[in-house]
Amino acid sequence: MKHSSVSALPATGVAPTLLISGATGTVGTQLARRLAAQGVPFRALVRDVNSAPAMALQQLPGAELVTGDLNDPASVGRALVGMKRAFLLTPSSAQAEAQQVAFVEQAQLAGVQHVVKLSQWAAEAESPVRFLRYHAVVEAAIRASGLAYTFLRPNLFMQGLLAFQGTIAAQGQFFAPVGEARISVVDVRDIAAAAAAALTETGHENRTYDLTGPQALTHADMACALALATDRPVTFLDVPPAAMRGALLGLGMDPWMAEGLVEDYAHYHRGEAATVAPGVQQATGRAPRSFASFARDYAPAFGAPAPVVAL
């Protein structure tokens, strides 16, 4: 079994009292940057300290890396020793519920006081969407544990569109089985800001924040905003769920995850994620970023490749 190893005292010289999981991922990277910018030392649970994202984390002031695997609760327990607060995030997978429940048990054993859990908009035990069911089970386990908690329930990430970076840049197109449904999409940087607030301030104990952007937009609206920001045509194509399933399986995605994403988009299509909620303002004291500002900030990522110059 791989033993956890803790790197030298972080650059701030103060020992961290909070641990973040998922630190090399979409939300975790933004959270780590934010904590570093605030001068808050933190411990990051990573599977491989030598991976490129882990090495980037290591450069952040105040970062202390500890190796561990969410499938190995003992390694998580070792990583949590001495921590007062913990940020719990795993990718959605067939193992996510077990990984997260085990994390909560290890947090209790290690004497952690407060868990900040990255959940999902509309988490609900009876939901037809598997992701929303497992998040609800974990929320219930955290409530039952007696630990203080903050549940962050973000809507669809704006940064999810980066999965279409290639087709948007090359063909000016992206697709989803979502029709004209409106979704109050949220910028991951605002989710990270809410997580940082809950991990570093008091007053967020036993609160649930529904995190959305300031507007509910259709995918066609998002295409217009991306076209404006990149100064290139961008169009959205509505596709049947079977086309999405086939594309995801064709990319080699795990069938459990592919089916979950199809369920997720059916939930969006039903208009169940169209409400604008005040969670970002409540958690951070600041208004959420608009999709237009996301599109402007990420325009280079969606832009055309540099033109080939004939010699």
Ligand X SMILES: NC(=O)c1ccc[n+]([C@@H]2O[C@H](COP(=O)([O-])OP(=O)(O)OC[C@H]3O[C@@H](n4cnc5c(N)ncnc54)[C@H](OP(=O)(O)O)[C@@H]3O)[C@@H](O)[C@H]2O)c1
User: If binding is defined by CB under 6 A, does position 91 make contact with ligand X?
Assistant: yes
DSSP state of 4: P
CA distance 72 to 170: 41
Q: Lay out the site mask for ligand X across 32-71 (x = CB under 6 A, - = otherwise).
A: ---------------x---x-x---------------xxx
**Residue 261: what residue type?**
L
Least CB distance to ligand X at residue 160 (A)? 5
Interface pick for ligand X out of 35, 36, 89, 277 (rule CB under 6 A): 89
- HSE-up (13 A, CA, CB side) for residue 239: 15
Regarding 102 and contact with ligand X (CB under 6 A), the answer is no
Residue nearest to ligand X (CB): 25
Residue whose CB is less far from ligand X, 120 or 150: 120
156 in contact with ligand X (CB under 6 A): yes
Minimum CB separation of residue 263 from ligand X in Å reads: 12
Reported in sequence order, the residue ranges of the chain that DSSP labels E, i.e. its strands, are: 18-20, 42-46, 63-67, 85-88, 114-118, 148-154, 173-176, 207-211, 235-238
Q: Say if CB 197 and CB 166 are below 8 A apart.
A: no
Over its C-alpha atoms, the chain yields an Rg (Å, rounded) of 20
Residue from 4, 67, 120, 284 in contact with ligand X (CB under 6 A): 120
> Which residues here bind ligand X, judged by CB under 6 A?
22-28, 47, 51, 53, 69-71, 89-92, 118, 120, 131, 154, 156-157, 160
